[in-house]
Amino acid sequence: MPSLKNLPRKILPWIFLAPLLFMIILFWLVPVGLTVFLSFTNVTYKNFVKFVHGVEGAFNFTLENFHKLLGGDPYIGEIAKITLIYVGSVLAINAFYSLILSISIVYLVKNEYLSTFMRVVWLLPRITPAVVYGFLWIWLISPDTGPFYQFFASLGVAPGSWLLEKPYSQILMIVVNGYVGASFGMIIYTSAIKSIPEDLIRAAKVDGASDLQIIRSIILPLLKWPMLFVISWQTLSLIASYEQILILWGSYGATKAAGTTVFAIYAWFKAFEMGEYAYGATVSLVLVAIGIVLILLYFKIFGFHKLMQPSKIEV
């Protein structure tokens, strides 16, 4: 019989972990299990009620969804292309533009107030509720009153609608998501740059380096690990993100016309707009699979064990 003294020690960590484990099981493991299950069925809005009530023979197990996805669905090719453009472009903004921005803000702008102001400007979309941020953009691009529209119109860029005309709609999709996402990389990068000891920068200055040479030879090499983290994290988030597209375009018809149907929102529309639950689940399952493959790939390329080592930014 375990002594009473030892018992709480063994149980204690589980008591602390229990709420989190419960949440993970309820909101992650169960939905993933359901998604996998659904993707192998033919559940649609037609047999959904029977399926929920467990009526016998309400649905069949089938591989039809996968056949459809891999050949039968005429839009998959285009959606894959849009997803690639979307993830690639927004990633460029989130991982690389935010890096340039962070270096400018922390290193080049010496004025502390100006630097803080610039950081806050880029954080605004992050702290604004997604719906408010989305509607703000709808106002910004409206041809009558929108400042964004007016500004580009004055430069000679005046599409009938930023929302519906390609490629403006796709540029809009990238800018909207890029602006909100850049702040994530910026927070990681600015704190990493600030953690570089002042003496290293001073030493480089005395050694004869210009600002650009310091950025290239000292700051960027020391930001290698934060950069790898931001790139990995953002790729995975972007593959699964659809909120802003949903808020701005709202329906499958609109995203189709605008050329903004990415995989994640396609899964959403299929399941919740068209009632093709099983097919929607299959599309999202493929996204999960792509995500897992990418995680493994990143770990392989960047060396997971190295990422787990203590910070390299030390003297």
Q: Show contacts of 133-139: CB within 8 Å, 24+ apart.
A: 133/176, 133/180, 133/244, 134/176, 134/243, 134/244, 134/247, 134/248, 135/247, 137/172, 137/176, 137/248, 138/163, 138/248
Binding-site size for another protein (CB under 8 A) equals: 22
**Closer CB to another protein, residue 107 or residue 137?**
107
Q: Which of 292, 279, 294, 297 is nearest to 70 (CA)?
A: 279
Mark residues 256-295: x for contact with another protein by CB under 8 A, - for none. Answer: ----------------------------------------
| Least distance between another protein and beta carbon 210 (Å) | 6
Helix and strand numbers (H, E) in the chain are 19, 0
The answer to whether 315 contacts another protein (rule: CB under 8 A) is: yes
- Is the Cβ of residue 2 or residue 221 nearer to another protein in the bound state? 221
231 is a site residue for another protein (CB under 8 A)? no
Query: Between 112 and 144, whose beta carbon lies closer to another protein?
Result: 112
Residues in contact with 76: Cβ distance below 8 Å, sequence separation at least 6, in sequence order: 69, 70
Q: Does 215 participate in binding another protein (rule CB under 8 A)?
A: no
Site string for another protein, 166-205 (x = CB under 8 A): -------------------------------x-xx-xxxx
Euclidean distance between CA atoms 315 and 195, whole angstroms: 11
Two structure tokens written together for 290: 């792509």
DSSP-based three-state secondary structure for 193: helix
Distance, CA of 189 to CA of 182 (rounded, Å): 10
Q: How far is the CB of 229 from another protein (least distance, A)?
A: 17
Which stretch of DSSP H or E encloses residue 188?
helix 168-194
> Is position 228 an interface residue for another protein (rule: CB under 8 A)?
no
Minimum distance from CB of 310 to another protein (Å)? 11
Q: Which of 20, 127, 206, 308 binds another protein (CB under 8 A)?
A: 206
The residue from 213, 293, 303, 306 that contacts another protein (CB under 8 A) is: 213
The residue ranges that bind another protein (CB under 8 A) are: 197, 199-200, 202-210, 213, 217-218, 221-222, 224, 312-315
